Chains A and B, each alone.
Chain A
Amino acid sequence: MLCCVKEKIGEAVLPGDLLAFEIQKSENKREKLICGPGLRRDGEDVFVCKSGILRHKEPNLYWIDLQQRRYVPAKGESVIGIVTAKSGDVFKVDVGGSEQASLSYLAFEGATKRNRPNVQVGDLVYAQFIIANKDMEPELVCIDSCGRANGMGVFGAGGLLFKVSLGLVRKLLSPQSEIVKDLEKIFPFEMVIGLNGRIWVKAKTTQQTLIVANILESCENMTTEQRRSIFGRVSENVL
């Protein structure tokens, strides 16, 4: 099924839909087009390969806003991983993808050959993908290009880790996220959100940690009004 992109923006599309970009054909000098997640290039055509809502960002970026739980590593994304093994120079880290990612012991802030970072099996790390493609083992680092940690590395003494859908994670991380704005009014707490769908929460007491975790989990399928009423009830009880 061939459909024009302009008409489809903001609408649901299904795998197999063929998108037509009439901008390219009319102009002589063509502009480059970027197809984001959920879209696939086949020669000169762009196919939809995941069902969701087609989104567009100026000037020429198109992607599918999808709700899936399966994480596929992508370069540059920050995720929460669980260290599963120490093997020589690298740690094996479970990020929820099809394969475990490797994390070099030198990819920590201030780490040298002599000065190894203190990472144990079972620790949580907040790290960034530096290599992620379908043919190779994904590789994580806990430093940025300047060698600083910027909050990455081992974290999470106490607290609770749970998993939500990737769509909810992106909703939480978007700058105009109402959920986060409502949450921060309740009580002091800390949160780490990985793009792989893992969220780690810590508050002053176990009870408060559980409240935040339950609210976030139930945000998955709640309307704005339902969420508001729950927030109202929680903040009444807390105050």
Chain B
Amino acid sequence: MASDGTAKLSKNVLRMKFMQRGLDAETRKQLEEEEKRIISDEHWYLDLPELKEKENFIIEERSFLPCEDLLYGRMSFKGFNPEVEKLMTLMNSQNRTEDVEEEEQNKTGVDVSDEEMARRYESLVGSIKRKFTKKRNRPAIQGEDNVNSNIRSPKIKKVFLKPQD
């Protein structure tokens, strides 16, 4: 590109982006080095020891809450304010659940007793069964339930009866 002997382009012009393509490897390296030197000359740094973050092993706590297991501040006794009494048991049990959980592991926190569940399922069996039978078969199930009122035998198959003329 650049013919010998003719006017040379200045360094600054050569450093421009669009001039980079035409440069040969050696001049490019030279330019880069020069650039690096300029940058490092311009780069200042403070002659200080490195700032290290010291890990703190002591934490300050200003509140008594984590220290003592304090109860909920609203209290009501002997049914004076039922609303507060409900809240009181709720809030106080919330705080204590973590401790109680370990004790009650064998109890597995039963909400519904076994008997209650059995009674519930007894009635449930019927209604679920009804759900899965077709409407046509429903009277059959009802017939099973009350054996005494055996009005229509479930065995009889319904057939089309031709009307008589």
Contact of A63 among B59, B67, B74, B76 (CB under 8 A): B67
B76 nearest CB neighbor, chain A only: A190
Q: A174-B68, A188-B79 are in contact. Are A35 and B73 (CB under 8 A)?
A: no
Contact A77 B64, beta carbon cutoff 8 Å? yes
* Binary per-residue interface labels of chain A (27-40) against chain B in the complex, 1 for a CB within 8 Å, 0 otherwise: 00011111111011
User: Whole-angstrom distance from the CB of B150 to the nearest CB of chain A?
Assistant: 58
Interface residue B84 (Cβ < 8 Å from any Cβ of A): yes
Chain A residues, CB < 8 A from B124: none
Known: A32-B57, A37-B62, A180-B75. A190 touches B84 (CB 8 A): yes
B51-88, CB < 8 A from A: 57-81, 84, 87
Does chain A have a CB within 8 A of B91? yes
Q: Considering the chains assembled together, what is the distance between the CA atoms of A184 and B77 in angstroms?
A: 6
B interface, size bucket = 20 to 34
Task: Report if A57 contacts B (CB, 8 A).
Answer: yes
Q: Which residues of the other chain, B, contact A194 by a CB distance below 8 angstroms?
A: 73
Greatest chain B CB density within 10 A among A36, A57, A180, A203 is at: A36
B64 and A191 contacting across the interface, CB-CB below 8 Å: no
The proximity string for A residues 201-212 relative to B, scoring 1 for CB distances below 8 Å and 0 otherwise, is 011100000000
Task: Collect the chain B residues with CB atoms within 8 Å of residue A46's CB.
Answer: 58
B59 with A191: CB separation less than 8 A: no
Interface size grouping (class) on chain A: 35 or more
The residue in chain A whose Cβ has the minimal distance to the Cβ of B61 is: A36
Residues of A within 8 A of B59 (CB): 32-35
Q: Are B77 and A189 in contact (CB under 8 A)?
A: yes
> Which residue in A76, A151, A175 is a CB contact (below 8 Å) of B65?
A76
Cβ B70 vs Cβ A188 within 8 A = no
Interface string of A182-199 (1 = CB under 8 A from B): 011001111111110000
Q: Is the pair A150, B75 in contact by a Cβ cutoff of 8 Å? A: no
Chain A residues with CB under 8 A of B87: 150-151
A141-159 near B? 1/0 per residue, CB < 8 Å: 0000000001100010000
- Return chain B residues, CB-CB under 8 Å to A61: 61, 66-67
Beta-carbon contact of B67 and A77 below 8 Å:
no
Q: Is A69 at the interface (CB under 8 A from chain B)? A: no
Residue of B with least CB distance to A72: B62
- Whether A190 pairs with B62 at a CB distance below 8 angstroms is no
Q: Contact between A170 and B68 (Cβ–Cβ < 8 Å)?
A: yes
Query: Knowing A150-B87, A173-B71, A180-B75 touch, does A75 contact B62 (C-beta < 8 A)?
Result: yes
Chain A residues with CB under 8 Å of B75's CB are 180, 190-193
Residues of A within 8 A of B57 (CB): 24, 30-33, 44
Flag if A174 contacts B71 (CB, 8 Å): yes
- Tell which of B58, B66, B71, B78 touches A44, judged by Cβ atoms closer than 8 Å: B58
Chain A residue with Cβ nearest B78? A188
Interface residues of chain B, those whose CB is within 8 Å of chain A, are: 57-81, 84, 87, 91-92, 96
Residues of chain A having any CB pair with chain B under 8 Å: 24, 30-37, 39-41, 44, 46, 55, 57, 61, 63, 72, 74-78, 126, 132, 150-151, 155, 170, 173-175, 177, 180, 183-184, 187-195, 202-204
24 A-B pairs with C-beta separation under 8 A: A32-B57, A33-B59, A34-B58, A35-B58, A35-B61, A36-B63, A36-B66, A36-B67, A37-B64, A57-B67, A76-B63, A77-B64, A126-B74, A155-B74, A174-B70, A175-B69, A180-B75, A188-B77, A189-B76, A190-B75, A190-B81, A193-B73, A193-B75, A194-B73
